[in-house]
């Protein structure tokens, strides 16, 4: 056994290319996290760089080191000299989702009653608690991961991610890219050329690195030429060591309402871990699924307990890293680079220096891949179910866009009431005729967006079983959806989301009530039950060409 271990070539030239791909993917997630919070919600940058980044980066370091050790153990057990470590990094959909749907809204809500810095600390604690819930869920599910995949149909599971790919990874990053069109489109064009069209760059240059560095070069040429205005930044190394904190416990009461978001995100990384482990097995590296999931879950919990706000996950693409010639060196280098960078401060420096427009296309590409995978894996027969699962993410996108505007309008109106009450009253009376339609739209979009990932999975499952004429299962999912709607697990009618007892919600309120939403799902279940007894319903499902 000792001789076999010595033969393992844990570092090869291919590890360098693999390192750039995995490292830049992680850095991009951190940069986008900071950009979304700073430029969309006005979140204080110092708290992001000195409190969120160190703990989040530590989670990546722990996970990648554990995966590196697992590669050594697999090589020792099998005697293979070309074992490739499983890639691990920050989960892109949940990083973007947590920023837009948890940290940002929590911050805006807390700002109504406290200073910006105090509100930022509250939002940070809520994000830590949400991440902790996700980590514990992943620890538990790592022992039952295979069952999860059997419960939710592929179209519902992947369709919910496809919705995130279109709304949160496609549209929102595209806004960032198009904010400086020359920079964003140069980067996006290189990504499309090399990764979507699968055309190699000259000299075998790594496409992700070239797209980022090329677009960044264009950005600073335009800045020096005075053609665009760069935001005022003070690039510096912000040293901050991650340390255990009980802040996540303080954030738990407020984080409870985000469980409908946290649970599906954690669930999806578990199922993703199962899939990528199977993919690695086909590529020749037979890792134990439970161990892969447990290592990922532990790194997520460690991050949450040390100030982190974004979960790690086993990345799709093990065969690609193996094809590059990567072994265990690339995961070790990525873990150390990201982890140490979060502590020493060069990751925060990169977040300030690298323009968002140059990095956003990487996430657009991830979104494109997710959507393509969802439709291909589900097949043409279930394409409509995938699309149904996408729709709740569109509602969440509208909710995110409107919530920022709504919060700012509330702040302006409060300031007017305090300093110019007559003006505020006149404005209120002037807008009164337009208020009711806006309120109805706002409340309805809120209800559709809250719990959107779980809603997407349920809608996808309901549609799949209708297509397959498995009416009992479709009705079963409708009953689950009705139950979740009753208590606000999904379709929460509260402005900030969250659970409730439905009889505590005023019935004469504007917009849908939990009773009406739940009643609608129950009525639909009854309709399907009646129709399932008809002659046409008993005929075999139609074959799709």
Q: Mind listing the pLDDT tens digit for each residue in 22-46? A: 888 898 889 889 988 988 888 998 9
Q: What is the mean pLDDT of residues 398-412?
A: 70
Mean pLDDT across the chain: 85
Q: Mind listing the pLDDT tens digit for each residue in 46-95? A: 999 999 999 999 999 999 999 999 999 999 998 888 899 999 999 877 88
Q: Is the dihedral of CA 495, 497, 498, 504 positive or negative?
A: positive
DSSP code per residue over 192-229: IIIIIS--PPGGG--HHHHHHHHHHHHHHHHHHTTSSP
CA angle 401, 407, 408 (to 5 degrees): 95
pLDDT at 243 (0 to 100): 76
Q: Mind listing the pLDDT tens digit for each residue in 231-288? A: 766 666 677 878 778 888 888 998 887 887 777 778 768 877 877 787 788 778 989 8
Strand partners, 314: 88
- Split at pLDDT 50, 70, 90, the class of 383 is very high
The number of beta carbons lying within 10 Å of the beta carbon of residue 252 is 15
CA angle 222, 226, 232 (to 5 degrees): 90
pLDDT at 328 (0 to 100): 94
pLDDT at 232 (0 to 100): 64
Share of the chain above pLDDT 90, in %: 37
More confident residue, 501 or 528: 528
Residue in 321, 333, 328, 312 with CA at minimum distance from that of residue 279: 321
pLDDT at 176 (0 to 100): 83
More confident residue, 347 or 97: 347
pLDDT at 489 (0 to 100): 83
Q: Are strands 312-314 and 88-90 parallel, antiparallel or unpaired?
A: antiparallel
pLDDT at 317 (0 to 100): 64
pLDDT at 262 (0 to 100): 77
pLDDT at 3 (0 to 100): 45
pLDDT at 211 (0 to 100): 87
Least confident of 73-87, 145-159, 501-515: 145-159
Residue 4 has pLDDT above 50, yes or no: no
pLDDT at 2 (0 to 100): 46
């Amino acid at each position: 056994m000792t001789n076999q271990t010595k033969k393992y070539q844990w570092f090869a030239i291919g590890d360098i290319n693999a390192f750039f791909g995995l490292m830049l993917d992680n850095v991009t997630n951190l940069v986008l996290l900071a950009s979304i919070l700073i430029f969309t919600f006005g979140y204080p940058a110092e708290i992001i760089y000195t409190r969120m980044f160190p703990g989040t980066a530590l989670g990546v370091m722990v996970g990648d080191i554990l995966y590196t050790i697992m590669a050594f153990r697999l090589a020792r057990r099998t005697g293979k000299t070309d074992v490739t470590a499983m890639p691990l990094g920050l989960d892109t959909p949940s990083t973007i989702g947590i920023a837009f749907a948890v940290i940002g809204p929590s911050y805006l809500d807390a700002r109504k009653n406290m200073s910006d810095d105090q509100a930022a600390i509250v939002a940070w604690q809520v994000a830590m608690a949400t991440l902790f819930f996700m980590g514990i869920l992943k620890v538990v599910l790592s022992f039952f991961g295979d069952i999860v995949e059997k419960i939710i149909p592929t179209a519902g599971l992947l369709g919910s991610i496809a919705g995130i790919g279109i709304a949160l990874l496609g549209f929102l990053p595209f806004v960032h890219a198009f904010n400086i069109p020359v920079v964003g489109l140069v980067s996006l064009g290189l990504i499309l050329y090399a990764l979507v069209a699968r055309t190699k760059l000259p000299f075998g240059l790594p496409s992700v690195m070239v797209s980022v560095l090329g677009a960044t070069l264009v950005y600073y040429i335009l800045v020096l030429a005075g053609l665009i205005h760069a935001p005022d930044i003070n690039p510096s190394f912000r040293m901050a060591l991650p340390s255990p904190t009980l802040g996540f416990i303080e954030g738990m009461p407020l984080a409870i309402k985000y469980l409908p978001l946290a649970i599906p995100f954690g669930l999806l990384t578990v199922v993703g871990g199962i899939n990528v482990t199977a993919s690695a097995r086909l590529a020749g590296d037979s890792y134990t699924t439970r161990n892969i999931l447990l290592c990922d879950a532990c790194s997520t919990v460690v991050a949450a307990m040390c100030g982190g706000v974004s979960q790690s996950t086993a990345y799709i693409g093990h065969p690609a890293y193996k094809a590059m010639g990567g072994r265990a060196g690339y995961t070790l280098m990525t873990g150390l680079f990201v982890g140490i960078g979060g502590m020493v401060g060069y990751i925060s420096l990169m977040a300030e220096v690298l323009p968002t427009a140059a990095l956003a296309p990487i996430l657009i590409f991830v979104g494109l891949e997710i959507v393509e995978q969802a439709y291909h894996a589900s097949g043409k027969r279930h394409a409509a179910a995938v699309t149904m699962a996408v729709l709740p993410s569109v509602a969440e996108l509208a909710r995110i866009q409107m919530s920022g505007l709504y919060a700012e309008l509330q702040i302006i109106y409060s300031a007017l009431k305090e300093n110019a009450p007559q003006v505020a009253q006149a404005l209120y009376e002037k807008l009164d005729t337009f208020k009711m339609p806006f309120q109805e739209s706002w409340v309805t979009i809120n209800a559709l967006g809250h719990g959107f990932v779980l809603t997407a999975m349920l809608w996808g499952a309901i549609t799949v079983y209708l297509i397959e004429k498995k009416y009992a299962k479709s009705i079963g999912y409708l009953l689950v959806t009705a139950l979740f709607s009753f208590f606000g697990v999904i379709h929460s009618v509260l402005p900030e989301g969250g659970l409730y007892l439905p009889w505590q919600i005023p019935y004469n309120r504007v917009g849908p009530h939990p009773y009406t939403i739940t009643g609608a799902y129950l009525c639909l279940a009854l309709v399907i039950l009646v129709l399932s007894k008809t002659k046409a319903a008993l005929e075999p499902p139609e074959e799709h060409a």
